[in-house]
Amino acid sequence: MALGRVIYVAHTVCIRSELQPMAPDRIGSSSSSRQRDLVFVVNPLGANGRTGKEWRKLVPYLRSRLGKECNICESITSGPCHAIDITREAIREGADAVIAVGGDGTLHEVVNGFFWAGKPVVSQVKESTHSTALGLIPLGTGSDFARTFGWKNDPHEAIERVARGLRSMIDVGVITGESCDHHYFINVADIHLSAKAGFYASRYKRFGNLCYVIGALQAFIGHQNQDMRIRFNDGPWETCPQVTALCIGNAKYFGGGMKITPNADPFSRNLEVVTLQNFKWYDFVFKLHKLYSGTHLSVKNVSDRSVLSIEVEDISGMGGGIYIQSDGEHLGFLPKKISVVPAAIEMIL
C-alpha cells in the first residue's frame, strides 16, 4: 500500500519496519505473513490541546509495541473535516485500519470518511482482500462512545486493542434531509434542547466536561418545548406534543457521560429513540442523576422505543428552526430522517 500518498491531505509520518509475522489472533486477516498498514488520525487541538500533547508522549510506546508488526502512518489534521479526507484516502489506498486519536468529534469525522455520496468507500488496490477497520484511541473531552464499551481514556489499553486486532461489524446511523446529503453518526443523534445545548457547549470546550453544563444553562434561556410530527419505520405520521428533547442512540452515552439511550446497542441493527416531553428546567435539576445513571426511562413524560428509522418535522411554526446534532456536531435544523445502517463498519474491539 502506498501510504505516502496520504500526504496530500495531512502532515503524515510513516514508520516502516522489517517484515514480521502479523499478530496471530487478528480476526478477518487475509494473510498471516503481511504487515498491517495502520493510519492514526490525530486531532492535535482536541481537548483544548491535550490530545496533541498526549499523542506526542504516546508515539515512542506505539512504535515499540506495533512497529515490528505494522506500518504506522501518523496523519495530523489541520482543521474541520480534514479527518474525513484522510480516512477516505487511506481506505482507497488499502489501509488495514484507520484509528481515530481524540474525542467523539474526531471519531465522528473518521466514521464519515468511511462513506462517500451515500455509499461505502472501497479500496482501489486490486490485490486487496481485506476491508479497512475503524479503531479508536480515546483522548478527547467527552469520549462518550468509548463509554458504551467500558473503555477508559487509557491510550496504552487502546493500543493493546489495536495490537490484538479483534474485529466485529457495528452499526452506524445516517441522517438525511431536504438536501439529500448523507451524514453518518456512530454514537447519538439528538434534537431540540439537547442539540442546542451541544451547539453552545462546543464554544466552551476549553473548560473540559464543564462545557456541557455551561451549554445546557445557555440553551435553557428562552427554551420552549415544541410539537413535532414524527413517523417511525416509514409508517403513518403522528403528532408528538411538547417535545423537550428527542435522542436517537446507536450507543448509550452523550454529553460527557449522560446515559441517555441506555438500551442502545451498536450490534443490534436498531436505533433506540428516547423522547422527553413537557420537561421544565426544574425537572432536569431533580432528575439529572437519573439521566446520568440511565434510570430515567421510568420517569413521567419519558418514553423509548427501538426503530429502524425515524423522521421528524417541525410543526411549531415558531421560526428559528429546531436544532439537530449527532456525536456532538451541529447539523442544522429539521426536517430530518435518521436511519440505521446495519453492520456498516468493521471495528477494532
167: closest CA among 121, 133, 130, 120? Answer: 133
Please name the residue ranges forming H helices in the chain.
50-66, 82-92, 104-113, 144-148, 155-164, 193-201, 210-220, 281-293
CB 340 within 8 Å of CB 186: no
User: Strand ranges (DSSP E) for 233-301?
Assistant: 238-249, 271-277
What are the C-alpha distances in Å from 336 to residues 40, 172, 181, 241, 273?
32, 16, 11, 18, 14
**Catalytic residue of the set 37, 85, 96, 104:** 104
Which cell numbers in the block locate residue 307? 426503530
End-to-end distance of the chain based on CA atoms, in angstroms?
24
In this structure, what are the phi and psi dihedrals at residue 84, rounded to the nearest 5 degrees?
A: -60, -50
Q: Is position 104 annotated as part of the catalytic site?
A: yes
**What's the maximum distance between 2 C-alpha atoms anywhere in the chain?**
65
In this structure, what are the phi and psi dihedrals at residue 293, rounded to the nearest 5 degrees?
A: -85, -10
Catalytic amino acids? 104
